[in-house]
Amino acid sequence: MMRLIYDCEFCWISNGCLKALKYDQSEKEDRLEKAEWSKEEGNKHFRFKKYRWAIDCYTNGIKEMSSDRNINSILFGNRAAANVHLGNLRSAARDCVFARRFDPTNLKVSVLCNQKHALRNSFTDKF
């Protein structure tokens, strides 16, 4: 009789563990979907030159902390581009560093960082 109780407890515990694993996987997928949606919304605002709104969307996507390193790199890179358009060069530099950490092969971020350095140098030369 004791064996049956133990088996039932084990079944109940393992069933809970399986549910937790399933929930964890669906949570990761939800975070990825929200991050991608935020990226698309930010891109729409960027196209219409609403850079502050785009930054807010990209920031919301970053806050989702997706497990996909590529989407995180894109979000940081896009936010850096919007910051460059607003003249926030320090914020853009910080976002470029984070974008490169997530994906060092992201060519768009490398080009953006070079443009940002050129803008910063021309700005400091004027004053």
Q: Are 86 and 51 in contact (CB under 8 A)?
A: yes
The domain that holds 68 is classified in CATH as 1.25.40.10
Of the candidates 76, 52, 51, 78, which has an alpha carbon nearest to the alpha carbon of residue 66?
Answer: 76
CA distance 113 to 93: 7
8-17 burial: b if 16+ Cβ within 10 Å, else e: eeeeeeeeee
In a domain, 13, yes or no: no
Whether the pLDDT of residue 122 is over 60: the answer is: no
Whether the pLDDT of residue 10 is over 60: the answer is: no
In a domain, 51, yes or no: yes
Work out how many domains the chain is built from and give that number: 1
Higher pLDDT, 110 or 48: 48
In a domain, 66, yes or no: yes
**Maximum pairwise Cα distance, the chain:** 87
Of the candidates 2, 67, 82, 80, which has an alpha carbon nearest to the alpha carbon of residue 35?
Answer: 67
In a domain, 8, yes or no: no
How many Cβ atoms from other residues are within 10 Å of residue 113's Cβ? 20
Whether the pLDDT of residue 15 is over 60: the answer is: no
Q: Which domain holds residue 72?
A: 33-126
Predicted local confidence at residue 29, as pLDDT: 87
In a domain, 5, yes or no: no
pLDDT above 90 covers what percent of the chain?
A: 53
In a domain, 52, yes or no: yes
Higher pLDDT, 87 or 47: 47
pLDDT, one tens digit per residue, over 68-110 is 999 999 999 999 999 999 999 889 989 999 999 999 998 888 8
Predicted local confidence at residue 12, as pLDDT: 46
